[in-house]
Amino acid sequence: MFGLYISHPQVQIDPQVAVPDWSLSPLGRERVLAAAARPWVAKLQRIVSSPERKAIETAEILAEAAGVEVEIASASHEIDRSSTGYLTHDAHEEAANRFFADPSHSFRGWEKAIDAQQRIVTTISQIILEHDPARPIAFVGHGGVGTLLKCSLAGRPIARDGDQPPGGGNLFCFSLARNLAECRLKCEWTPMEFWQGET
């Protein structure tokens, strides 16, 4: 069976609101609804979300289509970037480049990439350990920690060339096993509404 990591799509950017509290934009919601109509969603038997609002909103739409409840994994939040607060698009892109290029050092107080990777891998590992691999599962979260998880699954070093395409709302698929170390990456980041399901 398969596991998925799904990043939330476009959000309503509001510099006056803390980033974890941002919600989906109309376009983002439209994309999740389109994905929810795909046959693979109905196969999901568990959906585990980051505690951030935009991820929960994404997970809730998918969960309604799958007929399951959303579970929250509190440690699966996005990279902690609270030290810099809101950054413009160009400033954020430059910061992200620095984050991935120097994983063992903090960029202006951001969570280190190696620490964020350990956090997301540990969180997903703990869930996989007690999960029946015969039951398809989806983790809904963020592009940054998702890329760090993807690098680990693929056995690759941390690097931004593994990052998702712009806009978010992408997923990658991996095989399920009794522990995360035995799970294998099965596809690269793919827009959620275009993914055809496990092949």
pLDDT of residue 86: 87
pLDDT under 70: residue ranges of the chain: 199
Is the pTM value of this prediction over 0.85? yes
Q: Tell me the domain boundaries of the chain.
A: 2-81+114-191
pLDDT of residue 181: 94
Q: Are 142 and 7 in contact (CB under 8 A)?
A: yes
pLDDT of residue 89: 86
- Check: CATH 3.90.1200.10 for 2-81+114-191? no
pLDDT of residue 6: 98
pLDDT of residue 199: 65
Q: Phi and psi at residue 48, in whole multiples of 5°?
A: -115, 125
| 3-state SS assignment for residue 47 | strand
pLDDT of residue 166: 87
Q: Each residue of 40-49: pLDDT tens digit?
A: 999 999 999 9
pLDDT of residue 179: 94
- Return the number of other C-beta atoms located less than 10 Å from residue 187's C-beta: 15
